[in-house]
């Protein structure tokens, strides 16, 4: 182990962090010696500490854990899961199969939850400006629709008439609000928005998984863009499970369809290079 | 929502899975309706269910959670963390910053734990063949060293004289063994190996974080290559925390060092294209 | 080889493409049998055919090749190159080392060229609306500055007072315009913008590599977002070269700085979990 | 621009390179001022210079370009291409769509060419040890088969009875050998291997694209693991073309199959959490 250089090496400032302190024989996360944390705080509490800088209560950690657990998988219809399975047959490590999949949890695939947290936050901000709940929700919906918005983030699902995860998560938030763990404000906002959407569209478009986890993340105070990262942590579990399952099979080099199915050319007919080329 | 096609579409077989069952309004993970799981099993238990197919006991889940929590971060010295921080300044989503980082948790950076589980497993197999612990450990060490192995996976650290995470994790395993949650056999193996290494090298080379989490993963029955995936889930937390922290700063396009430090050319001096080129 | 199924399998439509036609023993790219193309069109011409659907003239292909060649590398100060070098030490394949690096060529790191092509295109559109060159450039600059824009994409460099690649590329465009290969219009636009910026900022802020390749891509008719892809193809060469060079060295698990330099914690001092936790 | 620090900053050594020299206003690749190279050497020659350290002859560069051009695409049956197309619908930049795809060009998907170069190299080494061609090829084949090898790398194709790219590439090598550009030795080796395989298997298993590009890479002196990188550069073109084509369409969040096709669960039937859980 090399000695610490005299004074402060300039590279230190370049790589400074408030997350982890390291010295030989010492690791502190956000100030806590790691041996204090291990076995005493749950994994979701560790995630919280790393991201937010302080430890949550066990009730808060449990709510975070519920949101993380609820979104672990939605099957190989999701491009991320399909990619994980295909990657697992290509001769790369499981970390790389996971990376190719996580990489596509972008604005369209992984961004709806983030959008919902931000959307709720706008309503909450209007309420802070003393607008009542229903009016704040209505104003936000009207602005969204006036700006050409089609799908309110967090509501409706192409596959599920009712997303079975959403009511269950909302119930947990209600329980936590009753226990004083959270305020319940974001649950109120989500329900007001659901009513407002129904009034404007003439049919119920229920809360989906992204909207329901967004209620939890909003209640717990996570800034919207960070919740994309929480979704990545959650979906990584399904990505790993599918990469692993596929990797246990004997297939190699798995394409999206059986080989004999793909004849799908729609471009120009045969043409040849001219002699002058 | 389209109707299910008559009979079984051939694409089904191509994408079959035992992990998740999906129908409109229904999601079952490994057979369990997801609304049953949410809020009733911990996040580590959900990870276990997804990967192994059955629910663990809460004690098993807690041990898994301790291992996952212990390895979340080891600072920007680790290339994965440094990559996450640099990527966060390049104008990509946080999912992509995470993917670039997770992608490098390869054989060298992320594989030591997997190696340790496999190494312990060899000793366990020899014990199943009725060799006593110390002899089984000695035989495995001697074979490893005879084949030119230098660093026994799971032991020693370039930075920490004693890795503060290892004894704490081992203590948890001992407690769990006393409570009957696990057998304690992999803890025995790790300690026998540590003794054997000390005898052969003339100095103590203590268990490190990879060796300690490997004890837990071995006790819990995870196959070695899957534990690489567990490490990815764990380290993803630190990767996200660092990407987020860096992204909150105003820097853009962060290189590995301050710009004026990099003049490190060591190739040929100036040369010119000849006229005939 | 399985038989083609009767009728058209539905998966075909899902995966239809105009790029490549495949049948057993037959590969056609954009209609050309591949054996006709191999050895008869240059690599840049092949890139053009794949992306644009038709073959370029050899002069057009040469101009594309010059742009691709000019941007292959800008050293390990660039996060992409640093990431490639670090990844190469982590025990992943060279493809994965390249992927982690390419992945960060995002809006900030890889997007300036795309921005410049779009910026020039706005000026060109104004000229199509019959504004003279200088006025079109001035209007575009004034709008950009009025909207709070600070750095006109394609101009100025944090490191090079004059980017040595830019004048050379611009000279090639001028030669190609003289030969009738391109119109020279985007070169005119870039120069008019440089004059306009100098007039507004009171000092010359010269065309950089992104602005110069953008002139070529604009002259050749590439849509702006596709030019990000061209930059990826180009920089991939440097990424591969650096990953390879680093991989040839004996280092393992390369961090951003020598290990003993990193002590850069700036978070809270030590704190302990309370007994009640 | 900051001043160069006194003496040599230690970070320099950490990031030293023989590839690129950078100073304000100066960029040299392998010693050549970049403005000398731009427009005077072809893109394949630039690739060669970056990877190998010296400029090739134009004939050598053309042969490299032919190999790079031949392997740009093999359609969406290949997982890499399918991944690129799916990623392009997920709301990530085109660089990230490319990265997810390139990342899977691993040992199985992207490694056959590398394997073929190494395989030929073994034969060449035996010939250097003065074994005649046919005997050297036979010895290498027999050893491969004796060790349980099933598919000789570079020969046979699951889809094409004859890969139309291979004979054309081999013809180019023959022409180049006739012109003295290369020795022709690796073409001889490939043909001897094809004869040897036919003799051992009782049917012709023809050279495929990997085997044919491996002949070129072997003739040009590239070390086997670097040729994986060359394949990445080549296939990146198709990856970009497909990502771009898909991105131009209105689809979002493209899975591997139409949504209503995926009902492919094969795990346990419904089960419920017990009360005691």
Contacts of B38 in chain D (CB under 8 A): none
Task: Select the residue of D17, D82, D233 nearest C76 (Cβ to Cβ).
Answer: D17
Write the pLDDT tens digit of every residue in C226-259: 999 999 999 999 999 999 999 999 778 899 988 7
- How many angstroms separate the CA atoms of C215 and D226, rounded? 33
Residue A6 — pLDDT band, cuts 50, 70, 90? very low
Contact C122, C140 (CB under 8 A): yes
Q: Residues near C57 by Cβ (< 8 Å), separated by ≥ 6?
A: C181
> What pLDDT score was predicted for residue C11?
65
What ipTM was assigned to the predicted interfaces of this complex?
0.94
For chain B, positions 88-117, list CB contacts with chain D under 8 A.
91-93, 95-96, 99-100, 103
- A252 touches D at CB < 8 Å: yes
> What pLDDT score was predicted for residue D265?
85
> What pLDDT score was predicted for residue D11?
65
> What pLDDT score was predicted for residue C277?
39
More confident residue, A215 or B266: A215
Asked which of C43-47, C261-265, D152-156 is least confident by mean pLDDT, the reply is: C261-265
Orientation of helix D112-128 relative to helix D224-247, angle to 10°:
160
Strand duo C20-23 + C26-29: pairing: antiparallel
Q: For the residues A200-209, what does the mean pLDDT come to?
A: 96
Residue C9 — pLDDT band, cuts 50, 70, 90? low
Contacts of B21 in chain D (CB under 8 A): 265, 267
Write the pLDDT tens digit of every residue in D218-260: 999 999 999 999 999 999 999 999 999 999 997 888 999 887 6
Does the beta-carbon distance from B37 to D100 stay under 8 Å?
Answer: no
Contact A201, A149 (CB under 8 A): no
Q: Residues near D258 by Cβ (< 8 Å), separated by ≥ 6?
A: B2, C10, C11, C14
Q: For the residues A201-225, what does the mean pLDDT come to?
A: 97
**Positions in chain B whose pLDDT score sits under 50:** 1-8, 276-277
- How many angstroms separate the CA atoms of D263 and D242, rounded? 27
> What pLDDT score was predicted for residue D14?
86
**Length of chain B as a residue count:** 277
Q: Which two tokens stand for residue C77?
A: 């100060």
CA–CA min distance A67, chain B (Å): 8
Write the pLDDT tens digit of every residue in C194-229: 999 999 999 999 999 999 999 999 999 999 999 999
Contact C237, D46 (CB under 8 A): yes
Q: Which two tokens stand for residue A140?
A: 């936000």
Contact B177, B183 (CB under 8 A): yes
Asked which of A24-28, A125-129, B62-66, D254-258 is least confident by mean pLDDT, the reply is: D254-258
CA–CA min distance B113, chain C (Å): 14
Report CA A133 to chain centroid distance, whole Å. Answer: 26
Q: Which two tokens stand for residue B212?
A: 């300690």
CA–CA min distance A270, chain B (Å): 30
- How many angstroms separate the CA atoms of C22 and A265, rounded? 8
Q: Residues near B103 by Cβ (< 8 Å), separated by ≥ 6?
A: A95, A96, A99, A100, C87, C92, C96, C99, C100, C103, D103
- A263 touches D at CB < 8 Å: no
> What pLDDT score was predicted for residue A11?
65
Write the pLDDT tens digit of every residue in C56-98: 999 999 999 999 999 999 999 999 999 999 999 999 999 999 9
**Of the candidates C237, A256, A93, which has an alpha carbon nearest to the alpha carbon of residue D81?**
A256
What H or E segment, with its residue span, contains residue C29?
strand C26-29
What H or E segment, with its residue span, contains residue A147?
none
Buried b (16+ CB within 10 A) or exposed e, D17-33: bebbbbeeeebbbbbbb
pLDDT at A123 over 90: yes
Does the beta-carbon distance from D100 to A105 stay under 8 Å?
Answer: no
- How many angstroms separate the CA atoms of B260 and C3, rounded? 63
Q: How many CB atoms lie within 10 A of CB A148?
A: 6
Q: How many CB atoms lie within 10 A of CB A58?
A: 15
Nearest C-alpha in D relative to C64: D43
**Of the candidates C72, C110, C232, which has an alpha carbon nearest to the alpha carbon of residue D32?**
C72
- How many angstroms separate the CA atoms of A73 and D123, rounded? 49
Residue D21 — pLDDT band, cuts 50, 70, 90? very high
Does the beta-carbon distance from C32 to A272 stay under 8 Å?
Answer: yes
Task: Select the residue of B79, B103, B259 nearest C99 (Cβ to Cβ).
Answer: B103
Write the pLDDT tens digit of every residue in D162-204: 999 999 999 999 999 999 999 999 999 999 999 999 999 999 9
pLDDT at D8 over 50: no
> What pLDDT score was predicted for residue A266?
86
With 0-12 / 13-18 / 19 or more C-beta atoms within 10 angstroms meaning exposed / middle / buried, residue B161 is: exposed
Residue D4 — pLDDT band, cuts 50, 70, 90? very low
pTM, full prediction: 0.95
Does the beta-carbon distance from C164 to D98 stay under 8 Å?
Answer: no
DSSP H helices, chain A, are 10-14, 34-37, 43-52, 58-70, 79-87, 94-102, 112-128, 133-146, 165-178, 185-201, 209-220, 224-247
> What pLDDT score was predicted for residue C7?
41
Contacts of C28 in chain A (CB under 8 A): 265, 270
Contacts of D28 in chain B (CB under 8 A): 265, 270
Nearest C-alpha in C relative to B75: C262
Mean pLDDT estimate for chain C: 92
Contact B145, B108 (CB under 8 A): no
**Integer CA distances (angstroms), C170 to A35, A182, B239, C133, in order:** 61, 61, 42, 18
Chains contacting C (3 or more CB pairs within 8 Å): A, B, D
Task: Select the residue of D1, D37, D265 nearest B20 (Cβ to Cβ).
Answer: D265
> What pLDDT score was predicted for residue C56?
98
Task: Select the residue of D87, D109, D159 nearest A90 (Cβ to Cβ).
Answer: D109
- How many angstroms separate the CA atoms of A105 and D95, rounded? 14
- Reduced to 3 states (helix: H, G, I; strand: E, B; else coil), residue B26 is strand
Residue D159 — pLDDT band, cuts 50, 70, 90? confident
Does the beta-carbon distance from A172 to B39 stay under 8 Å?
Answer: yes
Does the beta-carbon distance from C2 to A258 stay under 8 Å?
Answer: yes
**Of the candidates C171, C125, A267, A44, which has an alpha carbon nearest to the alpha carbon of residue B65?**
A44
**Of the candidates B88, B63, B138, B37, which has an alpha carbon nearest to the alpha carbon of residue B252?**
B88
The fraction of chain C above a pLDDT of 90, given in percent, is 83
Q: For the residues C144-152, what does the mean pLDDT come to?
A: 94
CA–CA min distance D277, chain B (Å): 8
- Reduced to 3 states (helix: H, G, I; strand: E, B; else coil), residue C145 is helix
Report CA A88 to chain centroid distance, whole Å. Answer: 22
**Integer CA distances (angstroms), A240 to A99, A116, A230, D247, in order:** 10, 26, 16, 27
> What pLDDT score was predicted for residue D9?
53
> What pLDDT score was predicted for residue B3?
42
Contacts of B5 in chain D (CB under 8 A): 260-261
- How many angstroms separate the CA atoms of A113 and A68, rounded? 12
Asked which of A107-111, A122-126, D218-222 is least confident by mean pLDDT, the reply is: A107-111
> What pLDDT score was predicted for residue C253?
87
Q: Residues near B102 by Cβ (< 8 Å), separated by ≥ 6?
A: A95, A98, A99, A102, B80, B232, B235, B236, B239
- Reduced to 3 states (helix: H, G, I; strand: E, B; else coil), residue D27 is strand
pLDDT at D215 over 90: yes
pLDDT at C138 over 70: yes
Give residue for tokens 């080329």: A277
Does the beta-carbon distance from A38 to B68 stay under 8 Å?
Answer: no
Contact D210, D154 (CB under 8 A): yes
- C255 touches B at CB < 8 Å: yes
> What pLDDT score was predicted for residue D250?
78
What H or E segment, with its residue span, contains residue B216?
helix B209-219
With 0-12 / 13-18 / 19 or more C-beta atoms within 10 angstroms meaning exposed / middle / buried, residue A122 is: middle
Contacts of D99 in chain B (CB under 8 A): 96, 99-100
Does the beta-carbon distance from A22 to C267 stay under 8 Å?
Answer: no
DSSP H helices, chain D, are 10-14, 34-37, 43-52, 58-70, 79-87, 94-102, 112-128, 133-146, 165-178, 185-201, 209-219, 224-247
Write the pLDDT tens digit of every residue in D133-153: 999 999 999 999 999 998 999
Contact B244, D30 (CB under 8 A): no
Mean pLDDT estimate for chain A: 92
- How many angstroms separate the CA atoms of B196 and A99, rounded? 38
Q: How many CB atoms lie within 10 A of CB A272?
A: 10
> What pLDDT score was predicted for residue B158?
84
pLDDT at C153 over 80: yes
**Length of chain C as a residue count:** 277
Q: Residues near A140 by Cβ (< 8 Å), separated by ≥ 6?
A: A119, A122, A123, A126, A193
Task: Select the residue of D5, D258, D264 nearest B260 (Cβ to Cβ).
Answer: D5
For chain C, positions 217-236, list CB contacts with chain D under 8 A.
225-226, 228-229, 232-233, 236
Nearest C-alpha in C relative to D24: C160
Q: Which two tokens stand for residue B114?
A: 């997997």
Contacts of B260 in chain D (CB under 8 A): 1-5
> What pLDDT score was predicted for residue C223?
97
CA–CA min distance B189, chain C (Å): 27
Contact C82, C182 (CB under 8 A): no
Does the beta-carbon distance from B273 to D41 stay under 8 Å?
Answer: yes
Order across the sheet with A32-33: list the strands.
A20-23, A26-29, A32-33
- How many angstroms separate the CA atoms of C22 and D77, rounded? 10
Contact A79, D98 (CB under 8 A): no
């Amino acid at each position: 182990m090399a000695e610490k250089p005299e004074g402060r090496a300039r590279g230190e400032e370049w790589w400074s962090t408030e997350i982890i302190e390291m010295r030989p024989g010492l690791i502190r996360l956000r100030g806590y010696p790691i041996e204090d944390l291990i076995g005493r705080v749950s994994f979701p509490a560790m995630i919280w500490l790393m991201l937010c800088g302080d430890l949550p209560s066990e009730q808060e950690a449990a709510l975070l854990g519920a949101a993380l657990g609820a979104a672990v998988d939605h099957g190989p219809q999701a491009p991320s899961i399909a990619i994980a399975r295909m990657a697992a047959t290509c001769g790369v490590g499981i970390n790389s199969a996971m990376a190719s999949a996580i990489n596509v949890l972008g604005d369209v695939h992984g961004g709806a939850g983030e959008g919902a947290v931000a959307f709720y936050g706008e309503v909450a901000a209007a309420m802070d400006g003393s607008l009542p709940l229903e009016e704040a929700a209505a104003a936000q919906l009207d602005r969204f629709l006036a700006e050409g918005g089609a799908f309110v983030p967090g509501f409706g699902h192409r596959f599920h008439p009712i997303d079975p995860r959403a009511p269950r998560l909302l119930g947990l938030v209600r329980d936590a609000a009753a226990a004083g763990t959270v305020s319940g404000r974001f649950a109120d906002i989500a329900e007001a928005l659901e009513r407002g959407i129904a009034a404007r569209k003439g049919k119920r478009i229920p809360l989906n998984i992204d909207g329901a986890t967004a209620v939890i993340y909003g209640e717990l105070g996570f800034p919207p863009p960070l919740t994309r990262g929480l979704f990545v942590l959650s979906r990584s579990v399904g990505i790993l499970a599918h990469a692993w399952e596929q990797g246990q099979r004997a297939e190699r080099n798995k394409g999206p369809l059986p080989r004999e199915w793909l004849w799908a050319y729609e471009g120009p007919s045969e043409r040849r290079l001219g002699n002058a080329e």
